Amino acid sequence: ETGVTQSPTHLIKTRGQQVTLRCSSQSGHNTVSWYQQALGQGPQFIFQYYREEENGRGNFPPRFSGLQFPNYSSELNVNALELDDSALYLCASSLTSGGVYNEQFFGPGTRLTVL
């Protein structure tokens, strides 16, 4: 069974640029959640995708957007990068099956640095 993978591992961008981060969910999972973890902080929920639709969103501006593909992999796009966007971006996959709680399995993250 393949776990959650993310690419790239590290990324350096400059202010104003755009970035795309990628996540492959664990086999059999249909839901992907994205989190931002700033230095010294806990992860903060960005949004969640279920069956290719956004299924919930945290307190992040619209320049943070996402996609989920038919194979349940996902992308996180950030436009007009700001210095404060520098963080570890975590992807987590889960199987939504009707219960309230569906365990999330995390990938290793993508470290984004904005200069």
Distance CA 34, CA 20 (A): 13
**Please, which residue, 42 or 62, has the CB nearer to other proteins?**
42
To other proteins, the closest distance from the beta carbon of 93 in angstroms equals 11
Tokens of 96: 């939504």
Residue 54's identity, in one-letter code, is: E
**Please, which residue, 19 or 43, has the CB nearer to other proteins?**
43
**Please, which residue, 18 or 75, has the CB nearer to other proteins?**
75
DSSP 50-61: ETTEEEEE-S--
To other proteins, the closest distance from the beta carbon of 56 in angstroms equals 6
Residue 90's identity, in one-letter code, is: L
For other proteins, the binding residues (CB under 8 A) are 4, 33, 35, 40-45, 48, 55-56, 58, 90, 92, 100-101, 103-104, 106-109
Tokens of 93: 């996959």
